[in-house]
Each structure stands twice: as structure tokens, then as C-alpha cells.
A and B are shown apart, each in its own frame.
Chain A
Amino acid sequence: DGGITQSPKYLFRKEGQNVTLSCEQNLNHDAMYWYRQDPGQGLRLIYYSQIVNDFQKGDIAEGYSVSREKKESFPLTVTSAQKNPTAFYLCASSLGQGRGVTGELFFGEGSRLTVL
């Protein structure tokens, strides 16, 4: 079945450590996104990528980094520079700009990061 796979589902990190969250899709989508979700705040965009080898900062990119070396993969690294990294992280994909309906996203099941 086609879909988006995020791993790990739960992750614990000590302060000062970098961690990388994995996101893989087999939907053949061009665009991929990372969102952060905190209680009562909805979803906030961290980074997005419209095409391989290209990505743009979202609204809260500070303390995060991404890469897009393959169409299927869009890993997110939470660096030690992120002051409050404990959150639920969601990866999503879409057909891409000019293809399909902008805004129709397909989501993974999320990764919950807790900083100890």
C-alpha cells in the first residue's frame, strides 16, 4: 500500500544531542513537508521541499535542518540549537505545485520527540 512512513514513533533525547527523524513516501509525490504540532497550536511548518535537491524554510525553521537527496525521503534533524524541541512532528507529502489540489496533503503517523 502507498503511504508515508515516519520513524521512530517515539524518541527520547538528552539536551545537547542532535536527532534525525525519518520520513519516507512511496506515493511518487514531488512535494514533502515537516510540521511541528504542540497542544492547542495547530500545525506549524518547519521546512518544505517542492522537488529533489531543493527545500525552503517554513515558519519555524530555526534549530532544524533537512535534506532532500531522493524523491522518496525527507529526513528532519532537530539540532541542539532548537530551544524547545519536545513536540509531535508530522511529515506530509503532496503531488506538488501545479499538480493536483494544492493543500491536499497525505500525512505520516508522526514522531513524538521528548527531551529529557
Chain B
Amino acid sequence: AQSVTQLDSHVSVSEGTPVLLRCNYSSSYSPSLFWYVQHPNKGLQLLLKYTSAATLVKGINGFEAEFKKSETSFHLTKPSAHMSDAAEYFCVVSESSGNNRLAFGKGNQVVVIP
């Protein structure tokens, strides 16, 4: 079964500095990988997705992530943090085996310091 590890449950960044959220996964099949963002008391919104095309994926709000198969990683980055980036971020893996089951990481709570 697939699984996801997100270290650093809480991340603090200063406004205007880079954001890096780490995600490592395990999967028996060719995975699809996703990052979702959740603002307080809201549902999750898709930031970006990797589905076996380009390994560098660009998403909304200036975020991007790079799929590295050799490192089983899918880290999320943004060059310059904005106050509106304060939220919780989830890395998700889906296997192409057709079982339609997802594995969610436990999330990174991002705080942006003015």
C-alpha cells in the first residue's frame, strides 16, 4: 500500500522568503502525486498534481513541485512567501493500480511571519 511522509508538522517562514515543504512517498505502482492546501475551517483545494508527464509541475499561487523518482520525493516550493500562504498543506499519493485509494500525509501547518 502507498504511504506519504511529511516531516515538520509546523513550518514558520518570513514573508518574502522561500517556502519548502518536504514530501516523501512509497508506492508499489506508478504514482500520481498531489499537493492540496487547506485554509482554516475550509475544505481542501488542489494546488498541483503530477501524473507521469513533466517532472517539474507548476501550480496555482506561484507554487511548484518536482517529482524525483530516485528519491521518492515530491517537495513543494515557492520562491517568496506571502501572508495569504498561511495554511495547512497536504501531500497525497494515488497509485495507478486502479484501487482508487489515496494516502494523505499528516500535513504541514505553515505560519508566515510579517
Contacts and interface: CB of A to CB of B under 8 A. Distances in A.
Q: Do A and B bind each other?
A: yes
Interface of A: 4, 6, 31, 40-45, 48, 50, 88, 90, 92, 97-98, 101-105, 107-110, 112
A104 B34 contact: yes
Given A102-B32, A103-B102, A108-B43, A40 B94 contact: no
Given A40-B106, A41-B106, A42-B104, A101 B32 contact: yes
Contacts of B94: 101-103
Given A104-B49, A105-B102, A107-B45, 4 more contacts: A40-B106, A41-B106, A103-B49, A112-B41
Interface of B: 9, 32, 34, 36, 41-46, 49, 51, 90, 92-94, 96, 98, 100-102, 104-107
A104 B44 CA distance: 11
A58 to B, nearest CB: 8
Contact of A101 (B9, B44, B51): B51
B9 A110 contact: no
A100 to B, nearest CB: 10
Given A31-B100, A45-B101, A40 B45 contact: no
Given A50-B100, A97-B100, A101-B49, A90 B43 contact: yes
Contact of A104 (B9, B46, B106): B46
B48 to A, nearest CB: 11
B34 A43 contact: no
18 contacts: A31-B100, A40-B106, A42-B90, A42-B107, A90-B44, A97-B98, A98-B98, A102-B32, A102-B96, A103-B93, A104-B46, A105-B46, A107-B43, A107-B44, A109-B42, A109-B43, A110-B41, A112-B41
Contacts of A6: 43
Contact of B90 (A31, A43, A92): A43
A107 B101 CA distance: 16
Contacts of A31: 100
